[in-house]
Amino acid sequence: MPTVSASYMVKNEGEYLPFSIRSIYDAVDEIIVVDNGSTDDTVKIARQFDKVRLYSSDAGDFSTLRNLTLDYATGDWILVMCADEVFYQDINSVLPDLVRNQGVDAYLCWYYHLMRSYYYMQNRLDQDPEYQRIFLFRKTPEAHYVRPVHQHLTGIGPQIVDSGLHYVHYGYVKDTHAIHERWKLYARLEGTPGLFDCLDPEHLLDDRPLYPFTGEHPEAIRAYVETRAQEMALQGYKLFKKPPQIIDPEVETP
């Protein structure tokens, strides 16, 4: 049976990391986590999982960090993860068949890109072409990432197949001030410091089109989402009830 290494690069990802790891834990043989200087509970959380091999690095760009995870990985395949991504339980039954297929070099998956709350997303469809990525590939000496921020995988073979799997991305449910800080970091790494400094964090995502996320949240995080959504609603956050219609600047609503 081919082996699988999960690959994480993290910094201050304590909120969603445990749910992300739990969602893929039984599907992989080891979990490589490279921490980039977390000051929250990220490192403590990672150490709670037996399969995790934890490393640290002060590297300044994301491709360098991601390539470090590849260097440390011992598996035949790499499952590329971010700490705010949570897979559905079907990955446990599907992944073994994927990695046994000798004619495939890499697999695509789909994801729901939540926006501003647990009940809205930017996807128009379950399989929206804008929200698909390579998440699993054979480990080879040629495979590596380029670009300082939005990393691009290169050096893989040509046979790339749709896995049919989905996960949910929770990164844009976070506090908008944290998202603003992340965007400012992106700008610095891309050589455009100050690009987002003038934006108001409170209204950072107001122009994003939203569509109802009516699906179930993954099993690994479902209970947390229910509790957290109720807490945030009581704190005055908007958009925590499923809307009766699509919210989209280009669509007239009653």
**b vs e for 13-43, b when ≥16 Cβ sit within 10 Å of the residue's Cβ?**
bbbbbbbbbbbbbebbbbbbbbbbebeeebb
Locus of tokens 């705010």:
84
Q: Please name the residues in contact with 95: beta carbons below 8 A apart, sequence gap of 6 or more.
A: 4, 27, 28, 79, 136
**In which region does residue 194 sit, left (phi positive, over 0), alpha (psi from -120 to 50) or beta (all else)?**
left
Query: Rounded to an integer, what distance in angstroms lies between the CA atom of residue 218 and that of residue 30?
Result: 21
Q: What is the pLDDT of residue 241?
A: 45
What's the pLDDT score for residue 238? 56
Q: What are the structural domains, with CATH classification, of the chain?
A: 1-248 (3.90.550)
Identify the pLDDT of residue 78: 98
For the chain, give the number of residues: 254
Q: How far apart are CA 223 and CA 239, in angstroms?
A: 19
Which parts of the chain sit beneath pLDDT 50? Answer: 239-254
Distance CA 242, CA 118 (A): 9
3-state secondary structure of 43: helix
Q: For residue 10, what pLDDT is reported?
A: 97
- State CA 231 to chain mean position distance: 23
User: How far is Cα 54 from Cα 43, in angstroms, rounded to an integer?
Assistant: 8
pLDDT in tens, 184-198: 999 999 999 999 999
| Encoded tokens for 225 | 């989402």
Give the pLDDT score at 170: 97
- Which pLDDT score, from 0 to 100, does residue 252 have? 37
Instruction: Return the SS3 of 187.
Output: helix
Nearest Cα to 215, choosing from 80, 125, 93?
125
Paired tokens of 165: 């799997």
Which alpha helices (H) appear in 56-132, and where do they start and end? 62-72, 91-100
- Beta bridge mates, 210: 247
User: What's the confidence (pLDDT) of residue 128?
Assistant: 94
pTM of this structure = 0.91
Closest listed residue to residue 112, CA positions, set 172, 179, 171, 167: 167
Asked if 179 contacts 204 with a C-beta cutoff of 8 angstroms, the reply is yes
